[in-house]
Each structure stands twice: as C-alpha cells, then as structure tokens.
C-alpha cells in the first residue's frame, strides 16, 4: 500500500539510498526524502540546507522571491566555507546551492567540490542558461533545473529574458553528459495555460523527478501569480495522475510556505556587514548563533515525508 515501507522500498536501489537517522531516508537518484513513520515524526536535526550564494541572476521571473532588483546580497566564498564546515557535524545532510543563479557564481565549482568531499549530498538549483560549468563533477551531485517555458514565447513571458535557446542548449548538454537531472515547475492559478505544454516538452527527457511547487507569497508580481488553494491543488494532482508520467512527481500543497520550518533550512547571504547570514529569515552573527538557529528550525517535521505528497509512476489514481 502507498505510504507503507514495502511500497517505497521498491524504489530504493543501490548506493543512492542513504539513511538520515530517525527512520528518515534520502533517495539521491531522484532527490527525495521519505520516512517509515511519516506524519508525526520529528527530525531533530536539519535534513536539508539551502545556501543561497547570491541574489544575482540573469533572468527576471515574474514569481521570483530571490532576486530583488539589486543583485546586492552575496556570500563571499570564505563565508560559505565557514558555514559548510560548521554544518558538517549534522551530516548526513542534503545541501542545495542556489541563488539567484548559482552557475554564475565565480567559486561554484570549488565550493561544490569542497561540499562533496565533506560528505554532503549536493543539489545545484539552476535555471540552466549558462552551459555546463560543473561537467567535471558529473553524477556526483543532482542538478535541480527550473522549467519556465516550452517555447520562446512562453519562456519569455515567464522569465522576462530571451534566453530560451541558451536554456535548451544547456539542458540538452547536461543530459547528454549524464548528469542526474530533476526538474521543477512553479505553478500559479493559471497552470492550465502552461503546465500541459511543459509536460509535453519534458516527456522526451530522462528527468528523475518533477517537483511542482506552489507560488510563494512575496513574489515580485504576486498580482499576476496567485498561489493555488486546496481545491486547485487537488485538481492539479488529478491532472498529473491521469498523465501517468514515468518519474516521481512531488505535488504542490496549499501551504508550501510552512515547509521551511520542517527540517528544511534556508541560509541567505547577509544584508549588512554585521550579520554572518540569515537562517530561515533570522540574522545570525556568530557560528554559535548559526547552530542555535539551525537546531531551532530542525525539530518540527510534520507532513514532510508523507507518500501522499508524492506521485509515483506505478501509483493508481
């Protein structure tokens, strides 16, 4: 039955399967967490840390919550090294390097290499418009690629920049190099207009997972992009079930904002010279404060791993 250990074990293969402790597992092959006991379990340690290297990006997406128009906040490479070193005591840990656009960040390769050597399970979250700067580290990390359009017009409407050809070239290149690629699509109330086109577009590509996430409050153009409510999420789930795609799908939830407090830590660059970083929005000044903030945001873990939020290829409607 879906949600029982026997059900999800069928997806667990080879060395990609990592126990994170407390009955929580990470399937690197498709970048998914799951748990034997689901609902009321507490992680009591961080499971996933997203480090936003900087705000700079070459796109201007209408629902962006990362880029604020200034490109001003950034980590120095030494600051990131210190944070990764400090957090290594929570290993195993999933580490997401994002931005802004991380593949534009000058020290990305060396930071990723260091993180891999430290033992993190690494994910690079990219708009993939800048070729394949991480080719030499192929298969040692997961590329999490944002899909914004299935042709030039739809891409331009969403991103405000005419980089569709660069995206297609980069996407094809990382797949032909053998990178592990998962895809994500952020949806709003107009998902009917573009999700079918995007699903048609990606059916030819060997992606390992698709995450469909709800629009977050706080996007730059929130009037144009309304988050999905419960009924719309159910409607979208039914649509995806009918498609029967051959990779796991993480479905959007109406309260996706809450997940940020459930074992998922987001570390933003400092906005002033004083703070070391922001942990889930709170400024921290010292390594000790960093640890306190990370622990405080790691103990609630409800609803994170329920299999009901995942749609697997063989799942019946």
Joined together, the tokens standing for residue 123 give 């994910």
Among 67, 141, 143, 305, binds ligand SF4 (CB under 6 A): 67
Pick from 60, 152, 241, 291: which binds ligand SF4 (CB under 6 A)?
Answer: 60
CB of 85 to ligand SF4, least distance (A): 26
Q: How far apart are CA 97 and CA 107, in angstroms?
A: 12
Gap between the Cα atoms of 261 and 251, Å rounded: 18
Among 64, 124, 207, 294, binds ligand SF4 (CB under 6 A): 64
Q: Binding of ligand SF4 at residue 170 (CB under 6 A)?
A: no
- For the chain, the distance separating the N- and C-terminal CA atoms, rounded to the nearest angstrom, is 13
Residue 227 is a binding residue for ligand SF4 (CB under 6 A): no
Residue 36 CB, shortest distance to ligand SF4, in Å, is 34
Retrieve residue 62's tokens.
């209408």
Distance (Å) of CA 247 to CA 34, 46, 207, 253? 16, 26, 7, 19
- Residue 99 in contact with ligand SF4, rule: CB under 6 A: yes
Number of residues that bind ligand SF4 (CB under 6 A): 12
Q: Which residue has the tokens 């994002």?
A: 98
DSSP 8-state symbol, 14:
G
- Residue selected from 53, 59, 83, 183 as contacting ligand SF4 according to rule CB under 6 A: 59
**How far is Cα 119 from Cα 303, in angstroms, rounded to an integer?**
27
Torsion of CA 243, 146, 210, 140, to 10 degrees: 150
61 binds ligand SF4 (CB under 6 A): yes
Question: What single DSSP character describes residue 226?
Answer: P
Q: Quick one: which of 8, 27, 54, 100 contacts ligand SF4 (CB under 6 A)? A: 100
Segment interacting with ligand SF4 (CB under 6 A) among 33-41, 74-82, 96-104, 200-208: 96-104
Report the residue from 31, 101, 132, 144 that binds ligand SF4 according to the rule CB under 6 A. Answer: 101
Instruction: Tell me the closest approach of the beta carbon of residue 179 to ligand SF4, in angstroms.
Output: 18
The reply on whether position 27 binds ligand SF4 by CB under 6 A is: no
Pairwise CA distance, residues 64 & 61, whole Å: 5
Contacts with ligand SF4, residue ranges (CB under 6 A): 57, 59-61, 64, 66-67, 99-101, 127, 146
């Amino acid at each position: 039955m879906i949600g029982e250990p026997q059900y999800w074990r069928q997806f667990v293969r080879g060395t990609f399967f990592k126990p994170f402790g407390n009955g929580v597992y990470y399937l690197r092959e498709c970048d998914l967490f799951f748990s034997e006991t689901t609902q009321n379990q507490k992680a009591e340690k961080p499971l996933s840390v997203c480090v936003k290297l900087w705000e700079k990006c070459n796109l201007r997406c209408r629902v962006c919550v990362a880029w604020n128009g200034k490109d001003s906040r950034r980590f120095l490479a030494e600051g990131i090294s210190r944070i990764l070193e400090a957090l290594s005591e929570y290993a195993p840990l999933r580490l997401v390097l994002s931005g802004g656009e991380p593949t534009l960040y000058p020290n990305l390769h060396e930071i990723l290499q260091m993180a891999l050597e430290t033992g993190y399970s690494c994910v690079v979250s990219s708009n993939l418009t800048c070729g394949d700067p991480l080719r030499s580290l192929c298969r040692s990390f997961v590329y999490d690629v944002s899909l914004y359009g299935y042709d030039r017009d739809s891409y331009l409407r969403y991103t405000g920049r005419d980089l569709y050809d660069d995206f297609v070239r980069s996407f094809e290149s990382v797949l032909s190099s053998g990178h592990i690629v998962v895809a994500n699509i952020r949806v709003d109330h107009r998902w009917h207009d573009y999700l079918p086109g995007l699903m048609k577009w990606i059916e030819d590509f060997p992606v390992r997972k698709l995450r469909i996430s709800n629009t977050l409050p706080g996007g730059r153009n929130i009037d144009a992009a309304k988050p999905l409510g419960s009924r719309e999420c159910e409607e979208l789930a039914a649509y995806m079930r009918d498609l029967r795609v051959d990779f796991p799908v993480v479905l959007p939830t109406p309260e996706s904002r809450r997940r940020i407090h459930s074992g998922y830590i987001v570390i933003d660059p400092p906005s002033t010279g004083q703070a070391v970083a922001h942990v889930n929005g709170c400024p921290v000044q010292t390594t000790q404060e960093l640890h306190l903030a990370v622990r405080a945001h790691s103990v609630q873990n409800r609803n994170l791993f329920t299999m009901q939020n995942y749609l697997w290829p063989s799942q019946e409607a």
